[in-house]
Amino acid sequence: MSESVRITTLDGTFSAYVARPSVEPAPAIVVLHEVFGVNSDMRETCHELADRGYIAVCPDLFWRQEPGVDLSHWSDAEWKKGLALYNTYNLDTGVSDIADTIAAARRFDGASGKVGVMGFCLGGLLTFLTAARCDADGGVAYYPGSAENHLAEATAVSIPMMIHLGEEDEFISKDAQQKIKDGFASNSEVKIFSYPGCSHAFARHTGVHYDPSAAETANARTWEFFDHQLR
């Protein structure tokens, strides 16, 4: 079952896609999208989580710029639009919107009160920043773009967090990946996994670089993580 809900902030309200499990009460997972908005891939991810017994909530992170963004990655025009939104996105207000989403998810009818966060690319970076600044119960970041530029906050992460990196990521260089690993090396709450031969978005269902084996491994680690942290 799925529905659209409204999340309230001090600046207004925005939509979030919600997929629900067949059995409640259940923990919630906030799913943070890539530069393509709340698209079919994110909705599929939400339904996968619902099938695993979670309330999945995917907030419209771009609502302040353009509500309702739903792009594919198949055309240059959609890529350019997504990147333009990314380049003008305010990370600080984004984290505030995510905090409001977490607070709302804790109070959903049928929610257990436990809330995790997982995100991809832009959403992966926001997962890291949310883990550093907010009160989620665990986070999983898939290929968090530009995370190497925010490592001053690495020591502020006080909740369990997992990071998945493709070793051949064209947007997160090997040097950047090493900086990320070094930046979190002293934080026992954070575990980082690398996937040899994998490019950016290796776990995106419809991605040109989708790697079924690596995605299955990463997702299995993610499910085990959330089952431990949220159950």
What positions carry a catalytic annotation? 169, 200
**pLDDT for 188-208, tens place per residue?**
999 999 999 999 999 999 888
Q: Report the residue count for the chain.
A: 231
Q: What is the pLDDT of residue 206?
A: 87
Q: In this predicted structure, what is the pLDDT of residue 191? A: 98
Q: Which residue range forms the structural domain that includes residue 26?
A: 2-230
Residue 73, pLDDT score:
84
Return d(Cα 29, Cα 40) in angstroms, integer. 17
The pLDDT, as a whole number, for residue 54 is 98
User: CATH number, domain at 80?
Assistant: 3.40.50.1820
Whole-model pTM: value is 0.98
> What is the pLDDT at residue 12?
97
Going 194 to 180 to 71 to 81, the CA torsion angle's sign is: negative
> Which ranges of the chain have pLDDT less than 50?
none
pLDDT of residue 130: 98
Q: So what's the pLDDT on residue 128?
A: 98
Number of domains in the chain: 1
CA angle 113, 119, 79 (to 5 degrees): 145
